[in-house]
Structure 1
Amino acid sequence: MYFLGLDIGSSSVKIALVASDTGKQLAVEQEPKEEMSMEAHQKGWAEQDPNLWWHYACLGIKSILKSTKVSPETIKGIGISYQMHGLVVVDAQGIPLRKAIIWCDSRAVEIGEEALKSIGPSYCTEHLLNSPANFTASKLKWVKDNEPAIFDKTAKFLLPGDYIALKLSGESTTTVSGLSEGIFWDFKQDRLSEELLTHYGFSKEQIPNIVPTFGLQGAVSAKGAEESGLVAGTPILYRAGDQPNNALSLNVFKPGEVAATCGTSGVMYGVTSNLSVKEYARVNNFAHVNYQKSAQKSIGKLLCINGAGIQYRWLKNTLGITDYETMNELASTVAVGSDGIQCIPFGNGAERMLKNKDVGTRWVNINLNRHQKAHLCRAALEGIAFSFVYGFEIMQADGIEPTVIKAGNDNMFRSRIFAETIATLIGQEIALYNTTGAIGAARACVLKEGDYNAFSAYTQNDYVKTYHPKKEKQAYQLAYNNWKKELNLILNTIA
């Protein structure tokens, strides 16, 4: 018997099959093979056709069933992970009324800022744990203000994962975790935020039915079965945004546990039971996957760094180096501190953790007579690592007390220099695991009965290795202090 996992990203849809008794990966596939495109009709916009997500999910499901020769009758549960903060508006028949406004679309920033002032920072921090900012609620308000004919026809608004669940089951549903990422949830009252709904002029009727994060959320309908290749009646047992799901995939559930990832952007995601927020303008706070209304609250604090792995990829392409292993080998020939070069790696737009300042990428102290490719590679790795440490200090100020840090064995955490720099400066081991979002979503189906021991047993064979803090920290600390000094000089010159 098997569980099926879907990971609905903005670049591709990943599909995983795992054995339901052991959690062992059977296969993982991706559709399309190349990245999906985004539409940007104006500066700062980013849209996708949600039907593309469904199309590629169906292709991937059929492909993985064919390649593994697994009968769809043996799939006993479906788990869904998805790109966070997107907006899909559908009519009474569940048909999208426009393209989805996805996570990296910034058109609603001013709407969120106005809401923060009008509703009040006190309410937003105590009840929403966030500023409304550019999240799903503010994007829906943009539709209301700018496309009133579409808004008037909107029967339900959905997050990307909710839309895939709708296509599978024919039912519009969502979760508390999902509502919290859209900034619709009142944590203090443990209910929908009526104040936010009133301020934005939304009807409760537009809210999908709330289902548990773990447990029966719906079942594949006859139409969903026909289009996907699954069997009607197959239960949907789990749904969560990609970053909470990444934490779940790494078995991060308890206060003090932190999940990290560094692809194009970087994320530090820590779990806490404390509802107090100090850095709400720089750190996001959502209901974690194991949040329960009647129990101790489980909050996921998320800090995103836009300019992370994209900086290293840019350098690789610019220097004409064919692979990251070569870059890492070059970097290893240079001592800690990169002989004085500092890379400020924020060239992927405004950074929330820097209070939405657009710093750009800066290279400092390059000596044209002494510095070579190797120095640039080391400086880029250190600069990105330093940005993680800088962000982690913000999270600590916001109440995260780390007991363990886990990361996937992919992207930049495969670099020893990168991972050891972070581990040394924050004084915490970083453990790497072989897992993916799609695998985690599939495995999460076992949690329908709340069996965390079974889920933990699934992950035992994922462990790869641990990076330990270096005993000699002085050179790392000096390099980081110099980097932070340069960053502060830049921040002080930007309005």
Structure 2
Amino acid sequence: MVFVVMLGLDLGTGSVKAAIVDSDATILSRASKKYPIASPLAGWAESDPMDWLSAAEEAVSQAVQLGPERPTTIGFSGQMHGVVLTDAALTPLRPAILWADTRSAAEARQMNEDLGPAEMARLGSGAVAGFAATTLAWLHRHEPAVMAKARYILQPKDWLRATLGGKVGTEPSDASGTLLCDVASGQWSEKAMEWTGIRPESLPNIRPSHEHSGEVTVAGLTLASAYGGADTACAILGLGLEVGDGFVAVGSGAQIVALMDEPRLDPSLATHTFSTVGDKGSHWYRIGAVQNAGLALEPALAMLASSLEEAHDALSEGVLSTDPMFVPYLSGERTPFMDPGLRGSWHGISLGTTRKMIVRSVLEGVAQAVALGERAVSESGGLMPEILPLIGGGSTNPAFRQLLADCTNRPLASVEGGDAAVIGAALLGAGATSNPHRLEHSFVTHPRTAEAELLSSRREKMLRLIATLR
């Protein structure tokens, strides 16, 4: 690759990250800027796209000031599944509805019932509240006047790129996460559009992720742009992964990812099948999406007036067969249950239960949720490497890393991958769809036989409890 200096812009749920990256996929400078998420009613999650725009300007300006050279290209990464409705001038008609929004739970149930498992598998996933198709169905029912005015239905990063001067369009990785796209062919699905009630012309054309998408102007720079990619797909590129690879990411949620060279759909609908970045029909990935990692950990510890430090200290003594069982699904769950109505609970508390046991059970419950996600991906045909990379905030504590390895019964390789999505975005901006500079792991945490057996038996007990709760 010819040496260039690139700009990557990653539009996350609560903040945007900008990074100057060289052709060795090394970050030269970076900056981020937060923006608010509004929840005007319970279960709603919205953002003002204009906040994204101003935050992007600030983050890019700061990254450029800190960088040794000015970039020549820009690529975009972004949060998946959201909906931005605009008029012909790209002015938002209402706040963007985000992936975390659950108002469309009834529409999700109806879509699953009306289209059936086979058709939903072709769309890559069972219907879930917060995906574009179910959100749009809710908008048709509750805000028909807004829908009638909408010229474009865009994903968040596609709106940002077009508003900065780039072409209106999307690409395979983001399109595949809308429930409006046949993931095998990479084409918009007529059945899904008809069910949702949207006009085909309101959806943008699907173009290759690395294709030139016009020039954009941001922070006083005019840069050649590419269409970009969805955040997880960009992270795959930034990590330098190939077919047969995969990773586990643990943060607010958790993702268990396996790359595939064929669109092997999951008829159980317990996982999602999405496209990677690049051309239509190039590669795909199977993902187990676990909502309740840090999202459940923090409020559960707060209920106990505890902290991560205390929980990690309690975990250092190891999980015991007499520990209570914490079911971590405080906000419903996607993989493997696809049930927004699931709720959390503690079980098995006795007179002999200590504070340490209860605090420790919170970490175990989160790790068991990750293990159930990993099992769903593996059992649905998502083959992963023998040593599985582990990234995200959940990879930093040695005791919790060991717990994850024991729960999944897999060797986990610690990889510094927090900036992988913005690196992938930058590479796409320069027209690249592969990264030969694979991020290497620093060390491996191996599962322990006795602990893995104990945690497996406790996981089966947890599944029986969940079946009763449901």
Q: TM-score, normalised on structure 2?
A: 0.90
Match of 1:16 among 16, 19, 35: 19
CA-CA distance at 1:318 after TM superposition:
4.6
Paired letter, 1:231 = L
Q: What's 1:129 paired with?
A: 124
C-alpha distance in 2 between matches for 1:95 and 1:259? 38
Contact in 1 for aligned 2:124/2:177 (Cα 8 Å): no
CA-CA distance at 1:284 after TM superposition:
1.4
C-alpha distance in 2 between matches for 1:287 and 1:411? 25
C-alpha distance in 1 between matches for 2:396 and 2:161? 34
Contact in 2 for aligned 1:434/1:463 (Cα 8 Å): yes
Match of 1:328 among 293, 312, 326: 312
Match of 1:172 among 152, 168, 175: 168
C-alpha distance in 2 between matches for 1:360 and 1:124? 25
Paired letter, 1:65 = V
Contact in 2 for aligned 1:3/1:442 (Cα 8 Å): no
- Identify which range, 350-359 or 89-98, moves more after superposition: 350-359
Paired letter, 1:266 = A
C-alpha distance in 1 between matches for 2:250 and 2:177? 20
Contact in 2 for aligned 1:9/1:82 (Cα 8 Å): yes
Match of 1:481 among 457, 460, 470: 457
CA-CA distance at 1:350 after TM superposition:
4.3
Which structure has more helix as a fraction of its residues? 1
Contact in 2 for aligned 1:165/1:173 (Cα 8 Å): no
Match of 2:146 among 150, 153, 160: 150
Change (3 A) 1:113 1:4: same
1:268 correspondence with 2:245: no
Paired letter, 1:51 = M
Q: What is the DSSP-based 3-state SS (H/G/I as helix, E as strand, rest coil) of the residue aligned with 1:346? A: coil
Q: What is the DSSP-based 3-state SS (H/G/I as helix, E as strand, rest coil) of the residue aligned with 1:492? A: helix
Paired letter, 2:240 = N
Q: What's 1:354 paired with?
A: 337
Q: What CA deviation, in whole Å up to 9, does each residue of 1:223-248 have, x standing for no partner?
A: xx2xx22422x112352222222333
Write out aligned runs for 1:241-390 (5 A).
241-255=230-244, 257-290=245-278, 292-293=280-281, 297-320=282-305, 324-325=308-309, 327-332=311-316, 334-337=317-320, 339-356=322-339, 358-369=341-352, 371-373=354-356, 375-390=357-372
Aligned length: 464
Paired letter, 2:315 = A
Change (3 A) 1:357 1:480: farther
C-alpha distance in 2 between matches for 1:393 and 1:83? 25
Q: What is the DSSP-based 3-state SS (H/G/I as helix, E as strand, rest coil) of the residue aligned with 1:23? A: coil
Q: What is the DSSP-based 3-state SS (H/G/I as helix, E as strand, rest coil) of the residue aligned with 2:328? A: strand
C-alpha distance in 1 between matches for 2:367 and 2:405? 9
Q: What is the DSSP-based 3-state SS (H/G/I as helix, E as strand, rest coil) of the residue aligned with 2:176? A: helix
CA-CA distance at 1:339 after TM superposition:
4.4
Change (3 A) 1:120 1:330: closer
- Identify which range, 127-136 or 273-282, moves more after superposition: 273-282
Change (3 A) 1:385 1:120: closer
For structure 1, the 5+ residue unaligned runs are: none
C-alpha distance in 2 between matches for 1:475 and 1:209? 51
Q: What is the DSSP-based 3-state SS (H/G/I as helix, E as strand, rest coil) of the residue aligned with 1:56? A: helix
CA-CA distance at 1:137 after TM superposition:
2.0
Change (3 A) 1:356 1:316: closer
- Identify which range, 392-401 or 90-99, moves more after superposition: 392-401
Q: What is the DSSP-based 3-state SS (H/G/I as helix, E as strand, rest coil) of the residue aligned with 1:26? A: strand
Match of 2:436 among 443, 447, 456: 456
Contact in 1 for aligned 2:405/2:446 (Cα 8 Å): yes
Paired letter, 1:79 = G
C-alpha distance in 1 between matches for 2:124 and 2:288? 14
Write out aligned runs for 1:423-434 (5 A).
423-434=405-416
Paired letter, 1:301 = R
C-alpha distance in 1 between matches for 2:208 and 2:361? 45
- Identify which range, 282-291 or 271-280, moves more after superposition: 271-280
Q: What is the DSSP-based 3-state SS (H/G/I as helix, E as strand, rest coil) of the residue aligned with 1:480? A: helix
| Superposition RMSD in Å | 2.5
Contact in 1 for aligned 2:323/2:353 (Cα 8 Å): no
Contact in 1 for aligned 2:183/2:273 (Cα 8 Å): no
For structure 2, the 5+ residue unaligned runs are: none
Q: What's 1:229 paired with?
A: 219
CA-CA distance at 1:157 after TM superposition:
0.6
C-alpha distance in 2 between matches for 1:158 and 1:485? 43
Contact in 2 for aligned 1:273/1:299 (Cα 8 Å): yes
Contact in 1 for aligned 2:256/2:289 (Cα 8 Å): yes
Change (3 A) 1:384 1:56: same
C-alpha distance in 2 between matches for 1:132 and 1:368? 43
Contact in 2 for aligned 1:338/1:378 (Cα 8 Å): no
Change (3 A) 1:170 1:94: farther
Q: TM-score, normalised on structure 1?
A: 0.86
- Identify which range, 141-150 or 52-61, moves more after superposition: 141-150
Paired letter, 1:407 = L
Identity %: 23
Q: What CA deviation, in whole Å up to 9, does each residue of 1:131-170 have, x standing for no partner?
A: 3433212222322332222222211110001011112224
